[in-house]
Amino acid sequence: MGTYQIPRNYRGESRILYIFTVKSLITTAIGAMIGSLFFLLFKSLNMTSIGLGIMAFFAFLGYAFGALKIPTIVMFPITKRIGGEPIGEIIMRYMKFKKNRKMYTYTKEEK
């Protein structure tokens, strides 16, 4: 009998601490850095717990930007088109659309 290699499932091996992919870890760190500015501001005002809450909120927004995906919900037509895509890619596409949007106007010339 011969020996055969069984293909391994590599899905999920790029995860760090089980819930973080590399992209979500980076965006969470960026969100926490932005939140740390608010933490330092509120710490100087002796409101450390509010600063920690705001920092955690920004870290969660960073995680959502990097890891969460839009679910496909059949009832809503927009989620049929974008279902399964990461939130970060959708936001980046929208920002590019807004940046490059041009408005054309046509005037009718009368003779």
Question: Which tokens go with 102?
Answer: 């041009």
Please compute the mean of the pLDDT values over residues 18-29 and round it to a whole number. Answer: 85
Domain ranges of the chain: 11-68, 69-111
Report the pLDDT value the prediction gives residue 9, as an integer from 0 to 100.
65
Q: How many CB atoms lie under 10 A from the CB of residue 28?
A: 22
Which pTM value belongs to this model? 0.66
Collect all residues with Cβ–Cβ distance below 8 Å to 87 and sequence separation of at least 6: 64, 65, 68, 69, 70
Q: Please report which confidence band the pLDDT of residue 32 belongs to, taking 50, 70 and 90 as the band edges.
A: very high
State the average pLDDT for the chain.
82
Collect all residues with Cβ–Cβ distance below 8 Å to 95 and sequence separation of at least 6: none
Of the listed ranges 16-20, 46-50, 55-59, 91-95, the one predicted with least confidence: 16-20
The H-assigned helical ranges of 1-111 are: 22-44, 48-67, 77-82, 87-100
